[in-house]
Amino acid sequence: MHDRFTEILRKKLSGDNYAKLMRLANRKLHRLIADAVELCEPASVFVSTDDPEDIRYIREKAVETGEEKRLAMAGHTCHFDGPNDQGRDKEVTKYLLKPGVDLGTHINATDREKGLAEVRGYLKGSMTGRQMIVRFFTLGPTRSVFSISGVQMTDSFYVAHSEDLLYRPGYEQFRALGDSPEYICVLHSAGRLVDGVSADVDRKRVYIDLEDEEVYSVNTQYAGNTVGFKKLSLRLAIRKADREGWLSEHMLLVGIRGPKGRITYFTGAFPSGCGKTATAMLPDETIVGDDLAYLRKIDGEVRAVNVECGIFGIIRDVNPHDDPVIWDALTKPGEVIFSNVLIQDGKSYWEGSGQDIPEEGVNYAGTWRRGKKNDNGKELAPSHWNARYTIRLEGLPNLDKHLDDPDGVVVGGIIYGGRDSDTWVPVQQSFDWIHGVVTMGASLESETTLATLGKPGIRAFQPMSNLDFVSIPLGRYVRNHLDFPGDITKPPLIFAANYYLKGKDGKYLNGMTDKHVWMKWMERRVHGEVDCARTPTGCIPLLDDLKRLFKEVLGKEYTREEYSSQFTLRTLENLSKLDRIEKIWRTEVSDTPEVLFEVLAEQRKRLEKTRSKFGDYVPPFEFAPG
């Protein structure tokens, strides 16, 4: 058997590429690559090691093939995805399941045999005339209990280049793997290209084969659908975590400074486009990661690492005031890939930058000038809402020194936050771990954004901000969270945050920089240094502490009126939310742990009691110290 694969590889791979591959004595790898070669029929194969020369080749090819255009500033390039390829496409992203396997209604799945035939059919001959790139990565720090290995095959130099910024090199780790079959494999082809973009959008597919732990992606270029080690491997990592008793989460990881040089680490789960990167990149704090975290129990503590080592962030609204660190990284020389922004005279422009946008330029839809309409007669914005930048964390002034620490960092707190205009207060702490998992993580809702294709602004159930990626039954996923701390005596505190609360006039009640104050408050809570008031939904900050922190962090006066409007408990909205959440867990999920309903019922009782005593809207001053 093995000889047939070796034969295919020997025929297709040039001497040095063949040698680079054969240095990895892994039979499954040889089989996978030979299979991909036979299926996709590339003109040649480039095997990348961790050698800077190999990586330079990929970077240059991305420009040579036209997938990226060089911009005026050194190191900056721009890539465009097609007009129908501007976000993760949930409709066509499916798990391939064998007959009899049922993961529940929230999981988009299809029959494995049928799905494989379909996607492999689309991949057939897809790389004709192009080169296939094979790249190896390590998810999480190398030489660590957290590390997972991954191999990507792609015909896109943009994808391969992006991965170079986003993931730690893994060729050497693959050598150490020997013949082990324990790694994630992603096969991607951009498919037929017209003007450089994937043309067969109706044949776009992202299929995840749970049986062989292999991901197939075809007829798409958007990084969320193609960069294998972002959301594609997250789905497989969730299964591995389930088997092994740890957590694989859609979470940032940030260090927040406290008094006397102390740094306390937080993970934060926010759905896409809801302030996750901005929280991870707060000025004067330290970033470990902005999107994906693995959490494990080690020696009686919860520790976490960043799966990645770069940022693929939304660029809209990045401006010197709200995101000074990102702004700085994007406006000076260095390796940056912009995607789906507006380009004019070799310079990139995006909405919400606070800078003047030229009247014309080039964007993902071609030549653009103000007033240009799309096919539906709607005016085209200069840059897409989900336009992005890709950078390395390395070199950022706020990079945490533990990014590559094989032991990760100790997690002091976990934050759940969504885009919620009318229910949650800006920040609150759960009463305990179970209360936090149930009423914050498992009850998270968020208004949809354009990070995924579809209509924005619709309130959607988003447990742990991870719903799109959960690959095990949902009840089991929550059970894993409930059980996670086990015998740990001091698990991380759990908080809920809401940066998007609006007043009666429909205006946001908070500025975007206020999140910094909430983070500092949480940091003090982890160390028991500030008190709180106990409301039916959680513990909220006291006015005096916020006054002091607003002054210290933002140099701002914080008034009693602001506190009152932001922290008024909206009992009606909270009760409606409980109705919605309970209904979903009761009617749409078949394996919900019973304790979830008990904890929701207790919350309902507290809310009703408070409502009958104080009315529908209860100012924070009514609540006793907690």
Q: Which residues bind ligand SPV (CB under 6 A)?
A: 88, 223-224, 230-231, 272, 291, 312, 451
Three-state SS for 493-555 is EEEEECCCCECCCCCECCCHHHHHHHHHHHHHHHCCCCCEEECCCCEEECHHHHHHHHHHHHC
Contact call for residue 290 and Mn ion (CB under 5 A) = no
Query: Is residue 176 a contact partner of residue 143, using CB atoms and an 8 Å limit?
Result: no
524 binds, among Mn ion, ligand SPV, none (CB under 5 to 8 A by kind): none
CB of 223 to ligand SPV, least distance (A): 5
Between residues 272 and 498, which has the closer beta carbon with respect to Mn ion?
A: 272
Closest residue by beta carbon to Mn ion: 291
Q: Are 142 and 177 in contact (CB under 8 A)?
A: no
Q: Which two tokens stand for residue 426?
A: 């800006």
118 or 291, CB closer to ligand SPV?
A: 291
Minimal distance, residue 188 CB to ligand SPV, in Å: 13
Closest distance to ligand SPV from the beta carbon of 435 (Å): 27
Q: Which entry of Mn ion, ligand SPV, none binds 286, CB below 5 to 8 A by partner kind?
A: none
What is the distance between the alpha carbons of residues 294 and 275, in angstroms, rounded to a whole number?
20
Contact partner at residue 577 from Mn ion, ligand SPV, none, CB < 5 to 8 Å by partner kind: none
Residue closer to ligand SPV (CB basis): 309 or 517: 309
Q: How far is the CB of 514 from ligand SPV (least distance, A)?
A: 23
Is 155 one of the binding residues for Mn ion (CB under 5 A)? Answer: no
Length of the chain: 626
Please tell me what DSSP assigns to residue 586: I
Note whether 249 binds Mn ion by CB under 5 A: no
Q: Interface with Mn ion includes 291 (CB under 5 A)? A: yes
Tokens representing residue 275 in the block:
């302030």
Range list of H helices, 408-514: 433-436, 474-483
Q: State which residue, 191 or 313, has the beta carbon closest to Mn ion.
A: 313
Nearer Cβ to ligand SPV (249/545): 249
Residue 562 contacts Mn ion per CB under 5 A:
no
In the bound state with Mn ion, the residue whose beta carbon lies nearer, of 291 and 420, is 291
Q: Report the partner that residue 88 touches, choosing among Mn ion, ligand SPV, none (CB closer than 5 to 8 A by kind).
A: ligand SPV
Q: Which of Mn ion, ligand SPV, none binds 592 (CB below 5-8 Å, type-dependent)?
A: none
157-166 and 52-64 helices, crossing angle to 10°: 140
Q: How far is the CB of 507 from Mn ion (least distance, A)?
A: 27
9: helix, strand or coil: helix
For residues 281 and 291, what is the distance between their CA atoms, to the nearest angstrom? Answer: 12
441 binds, among Mn ion, ligand SPV, none (CB under 5 to 8 A by kind): none
How far is 626 from 623, CA to CA, in rounded Å? 8
Q: Which is nearer to ligand SPV, 230 or 524 (CB)?
A: 230
DSSP H/E element including 344:
strand 342-344
| Closest distance of CB 263 from ligand SPV, Å | 25
Q: Please state, in angstroms and rounded to a whole number, the distance separating the CA atoms of residues 251 and 83.
A: 28
539 is a catalytic site residue: no
Catalytic site residue from 40, 78, 185, 274 = 274
Nearer to ligand SPV (CB atom), residue 163 or residue 291: 291
Inter-axis angle of helices 594-614 and 571-583, to 10 degrees?
Answer: 160
| CA distances in angstroms from 450 to 86, 353, 454, 455, listed in the order given | 8, 18, 7, 7
User: What is the closest distance, in whole angstroms, from the C-beta atom of residue 277 to ligand SPV in the complex?
Assistant: 8
Residue at shortest CB range from ligand SPV:
224
* Contact predicate 445/459, CB 8 Å: yes
CB closer to Mn ion out of 54 and 291:
291
Distance of CA 92 to the CA centre of its chain: 19
Q: Give least dist CB 505 to Mn ion, A.
A: 31
Give buried/exposed letters for 82-112 (b at 16+ CB in 10 A, else e). Answer: bbebbbbbeebbbbbbeeeeebbebbebbeb
Residue at token pair 């008990």: 598
Nearest to 339, CA basis, from 383, 370, 392, 308: 383
Size of the site for Mn ion (CB under 5 A): 2
CA 344 → CA 289, 425, 441, distances in Å? 31, 42, 43
* Tokens, residue 442: 């498992």
Please tell me the distance from the alpha carbon of residue 49 to that of residue 269, in angstroms, as a whole number: 33
Where helices occur in 216-323 by DSSP H, the ranges are 223-226, 233-244, 276-280
Token pair listed for 620 = 């924070």
**Sole residue written with tokens 């480039």:** 46
Least distance (Å) between residue 572 CB and ligand SPV: 31
Which residues participate in catalysis according to the annotation?
274
Residues of this chain that bind Mn ion (CB under 5 A): 272, 291
